[in-house]
Each structure stands twice: as C-alpha cells, then as structure tokens.
C-alpha cells in the first residue's frame, strides 16, 4: 500500500546545537491511526512540526501525499490538518468566524453546510456565536480540531489531543477520531496516555531521544513483547519456593500467599500444565488462579528503559 506520508532520513538540529531528531524513517499508511509515544522531550512535536512546515528540517525528505514538504509546501500543507499542543486562536472571535477564517486561509470556497456539520459533530453548534474566550478548556480544544478540519484535510495531526481533558470528553474525542478514520482521514496522534494509544491506534511508534526505536502494529507489539502472568492464590502460606522448582520463573509474593508465574506468549508451550503437576507433587495447593497480560504501558516503559545508555 502506498504511504500517505513518507519520512526518510529526517534529522533536526536546533540552532542551540541540540539534535532533536536523528535519522528518522517512517512510512505512514493511508487511513491508519498511528500513535507516537515517547517521554517528554523525545522529539514528537519536532517531528510533527517539520511535517506541517512549522520547523525546518536539517536533512532528510518528507512527502505528504506525494508532495515534498519543502519544495512543494503549499500542496503538501493543504493535505494536512494540525491540532497543536497549545491552544492558539483569537480569543475575541466567535467559534464560527474562527473556523470559517481557517478554511479561507487554505483558499477553499465558503461551505456553510460543511462547517455546520463539523461544528455539530464536535458538539459546538450551540456555541457557534460565542467568543472563544468564553468557552471551557475542552470546548476550546474542540474548536482547534474544527479549525484543523475546516479545509477537509486527508491527514490530521493531533498533538496531545486530550491533555487536560476530562474522562468523558476524552471518550467523546476518541469516538470522533474513529469516525474521522472511517471517513478516510489518516490520523497521527501523540499522547502521554498509554491507554489512549492502546484504545485508538492501529500502529504504535515509540520515539525516545530523537530516535524512532520502533513502529509496529499494536496487536503484534502486544503479542511480541507482552508477557502473561499466572497468579496462584495459595491455600496456605509458603515459606519459600522449593529448590526443585527454582528453574521455573516463579515469584512468591511478600505476604507468601501468592505464587506468580511469568511466561512468554510467543512460546509454543506455556509450561503451565507441568508447573501445576510439580506444585501438586510438592503438596502446594491453591484455591484460585487468575491470569493477566502485560499492558502497553509496561511494554512502553521497558522499551524506553532499554533504549537508555
Ligand atoms: N526551538 C528549539 N530550540 C532548541 N531546542 C528545542 C527547540 N524546540 C524543541 N527543542 C528541544 O528538542 C527536544 C524535543 O522537543 P519536542 O518538543 O519535539 O519533544 P516532545 O517529544 O514533543 O516532548 P513533549 O512530550 O514534552 O511535548 C527537547 O529537548 C526540546 O527542548
């Protein structure tokens, strides 16, 4: 499948000499939701700002729907909508005027029906005549999204779309973003909420210290790096794990009432049947068991830790 955004050998060294991106290669697939994860200062915003023409790259090539973002800036930028991290809009303007103006900036003809649909979809229709300064933080954020979508871009960048947004509104945003994807828009979002990436993304990219250390289908990532745990609640506390079981990846909880067995989901054999048999032989009885899979958060933390020198 042809990528909608192609990033090759992208580097950025700021005037201070700080290298914020180091040879990043990334192909973004048409119609996907890609979540970029990374600690503070990893380079996510720099990457987005370069693709959107706000920051100049030091070297490398970026194409948006086939258009070089430097040589063919206007054509490339028309394809892209950007919801920046910081709210930047005229506080004294009304919602409708702001969104209409944004569309005009891209040279698109007025389209009242389209803007009405956009504001209705974002639950802003009732506020269309309100001045931006009178809106709540969550509403202002939705105005930023309406502005970004006003020229009907095929690609939408959301830089921390739900930072500081309450849980209910966050869920509404997710529904809206999914709806956009269904209408064919490719979405790239950065987030600090791993839950958001887990819930929304088709693929996950992890950036740390200016390097894209991994891009993977979410399901594959969780399968590959996910570890499962089996917790056995013991009938009676165990003083220590018997020596004969030392070859098993077993841990005894501090209250000595639970045995935790960690296994790799990639293995053909989990070893559970054998373990349970061994426990039986040692007279270790249990009253309950539960299994759990590691979350994306645990995977992310281990990846970023692993990347540190
Ligand atoms: N204009 C600039 N001049 C010098 N250094 C900069 C400039 N803008 C960003 N940086 C540095 O580049 C690095 C990457 O910043 P960037 O904003 O891209 O990170 P981020 O991954 O988006 O972080 P966050 O999650 O905190 O938003 C940081 O160390 C930052 O201090």
Identify whether the C-beta of residue 100 lies closer than 8 Å to the C-beta of residue 154: no
Distance 44 CA to ligand 1 centre (A): 8
In this predicted complex, what is the ipTM?
0.96
Residue 19 bridge partners (DSSP): 13
Can you tell me which atom of ligand 1 is nearest the CA of 12? 12
With a Cβ cut-off of 6 Å, ligand 1 is lined by 14, 16, 18, 20, 38, 40-46
What's the count of helices (H) and strands (E) in the chain, helices before strands? 10, 14
Distances in Å between the Cα of 305 and the Cα atoms of 14, 108, 190, 220, 229 are 25, 46, 19, 20, 21
Q: What is the pLDDT of residue 224?
A: 66
Q: What is the pLDDT of residue 88?
A: 74
The CATH number of 227-293 is: 3.30.70.100
Distance 243 CA to ligand 1 centre (A): 51
Distances in Å between the Cα of 30 and the Cα atoms of 64, 125, 156, 184, 210 are 11, 30, 11, 8, 24
Can you tell me which atom of ligand 1 is nearest the CA of 43? 18
CATH code matching the domain that covers 3-222, chosen among 3.40.50.300, 1.10.1740.10, 3.10.100.10, 3.30.70.20: 3.40.50.300
Select from 187, 141, 197, 188 the least CA-distant residue to 164.
Answer: 141
The pLDDT of residue 90 is above 90: no
Phi/psi at 115 (nearest 5 deg)? -70, -35
Would you list the domain boundaries of the chain?
A: 3-222, 227-293
pTM above 0.90, yes or no: no
Residue with CA nearest ligand 1 atom 31: 41
pLDDT (tens digit per residue) in 201-236: 999 999 989 999 889 998 887 766 666 788 899 999
What does the mean pLDDT of the chain come to? 88
Distance 56 CA to ligand 1 centre (A): 14
Q: At 57, is the secondary structure helix, strand, or coil? A: coil
Distance 208 CA to ligand 1 centre (A): 11
Distance 211 CA to ligand 1 centre (A): 13
């Amino acid at each position: 499948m042809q990528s909608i955004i192609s990033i090759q050998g992208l580097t950025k060294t700021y005037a201070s000499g700080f290298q914020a991106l180091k040879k990043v290669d990334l192909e973004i697939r048409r119609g996907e939701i890609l979540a970029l994860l990374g600690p503070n200062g990893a380079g996510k915003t720099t990457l987005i700002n370069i693709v959107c023409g706000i920051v100049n790259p030091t070297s490398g090539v970026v194409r948006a729907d086939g258009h070089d973002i430097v040589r063919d800036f206007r054509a490339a930028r028309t394809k892209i909508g950007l919801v920046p991290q910081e709210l930047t809009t005229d506080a004294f303007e009304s919602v409708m005027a702001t969104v209409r103006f944004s569309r005009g900036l891209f040279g698109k003809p007025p389209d009242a029906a389209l803007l009405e649909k956009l504001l209705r979809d974002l639950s802003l229709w009732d506020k269309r005549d309100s001045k931006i300064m009178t809106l709540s933080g969550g509403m202002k954020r939705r105005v930023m999204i309406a502005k970004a979508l006003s020229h009907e871009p095929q690609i939408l960048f959301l830089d921390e779309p739900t930072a500081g947004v309450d849980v209910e509104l966050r869920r509404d945003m997710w529904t809206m973003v999914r709806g956009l994807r269904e209408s064919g828009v490719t979405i790239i979002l950065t987030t600090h909420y791993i839950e958001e990436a887990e819930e929304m993304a088709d693929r996950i990219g992890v950036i740390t210290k200016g390097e894209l250390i991994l891009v993977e289908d979410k399901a594959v990532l969780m399968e590959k790096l996910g570890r499962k745990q089996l917790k056995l609640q013991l009938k009676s506390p165990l003083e220590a794990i018997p020596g004969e079981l030392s070859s098993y990846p077993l841990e005894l909880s501090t209250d000595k009432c639970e045995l935790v067995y960690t296994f790799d989901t990639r293995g053909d054999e989990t070893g559970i049947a054998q373990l349970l048999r061994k426990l039986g032989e040692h007279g270790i009885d249990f009253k309950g068991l539960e299994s759990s899979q590691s979350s994306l958060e645990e995977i992310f933390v281990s990846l970023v830790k692993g990347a540190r020198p």
